């Protein structure tokens, strides 16, 4: 069974890597190491599948550049709840707080949740999918777009 404490610890590491990426100091191999060989992304915009490797690194690079351009400063993993699926899989609902700076330099914090599909493979936790809401609408609502 995937231990809830291990999943929480995994997302604290994920938080650090994400914040390093926002600061543009991340090793993309560390980012890629958080993900399974294949993954699915479900958002309000699309359902996409991908493979880990150069494709993922390129997508992540563009994504982090876009977040920096929006004024992203820090992500904080506030809470993780875990729903087991079977011995090696779970759904982790992660509540995040994103700190941003608007174009007028005023700060804003956006709270949001993402559901991650997590597997334990070869003794390590990996994300093999995520389901998130309409982040573009949230950015517009809070004056970032």
68: number of Cβ within 10 Å: 14
Taking the C-alpha atoms of residue 19 and residue 67, their distance in angstroms, rounded to an integer, is 11
Taking the C-alpha atoms of residue 26 and residue 29, their distance in angstroms, rounded to an integer, is 8
Placement of tokens 């011995």 in the chain? 87
Residues of the chain whose pLDDT is less than 70?
none
Domain ranges, residue 44: 4-141
Q: Supply the pLDDT for residue 55.
A: 87
Q: Supply the pLDDT for residue 135.
A: 93
pTM of the model: 0.95
Specify the number of domains making up the chain.
1
Q: Supply the pLDDT for residue 93.
A: 99
Residue 46 sits in a domain of what CATH number?
3.10.450.50
Query: What would you measure as the largest C-alpha separation in the chain, in angstroms?
Result: 49
């Amino acid at each position: 069974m995937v231990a809830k404490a291990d999943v929480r610890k995994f997302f604290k590491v994920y938080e650090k890597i994400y914040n390093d990426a926002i600061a543009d100091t991340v090793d993309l191999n560390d980012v890629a190491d958080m993900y399974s060989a294949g993954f699915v992304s479900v958002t309000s915009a699309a359902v996409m599948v991908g493979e880990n490797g150069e494709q993922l690194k390129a997508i992540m690079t563009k994504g982090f550049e876009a977040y920096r351009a929006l004024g992203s400063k820090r992500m904080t993993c506030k809470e993780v709840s875990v729903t087991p699926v079977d011995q090696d899989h779970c759904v982790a609902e992660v509540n995040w707080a994103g700190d941003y700076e608007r174009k007028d330099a005023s700060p804003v914090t956006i709270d949001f949740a993402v559901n991650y599909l997590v597997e334990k493979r070869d003794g390590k936790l990996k994300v093999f999918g995520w389901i998130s809401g309409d982040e573009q609408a949230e950015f517009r609502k809070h004056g970032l777009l």
